[in-house]
Amino acid sequence: MNEISVIIRTADQTRKAELELDMNHTSADVIQASVDNWSLPTDTDYSLVNCSSGKTLNPTATLLDSGIKNGEILEIQPILVAG
């Protein structure tokens, strides 16, 4: 298996998990699993940010394509819509 160990957390840091993920998962897969597992609001859009680089990951890119390394922290951030 092509797996990597990462830490996923919410932006407010109230939820956090260390996970072994398949490198072929996309950022959108990780976001959806987090929303489901943590019962995050489903009426909100989220992005996945690599805390080491500060870069937002492309939702359709795999973790491998995004260059995610073992031990990195990925943060689920709500996308704020100004109105």
Please, which pLDDT band fits residue 18 given cuts at 50, 70 and 90? very high
* 3 state DSSP class of 33: helix
Cα separation, 15 vs 23, whole angstroms: 22
Q: Where are the domains of the chain?
A: 3-78
Q: What is the mean pLDDT of the chain?
A: 94
CATH architecture assigned to 3-78: Roll (3.10)
- Taking 80 as the threshold, does the pLDDT of residue 34 lie above it? yes
| pLDDT tens column, 39-53 | 999 999 999 999 999
| Mean pLDDT in residue range 26-33 | 97
| Mean pLDDT in residue range 24-28 | 97
Please, which pLDDT band fits residue 21 given cuts at 50, 70 and 90? very high
- Of 47, 37, 32, which is closest to residue 78 (Cα–Cα)? 47
Q: ∠ at Cα 21 (27, 1), nearest 5°?
A: 125
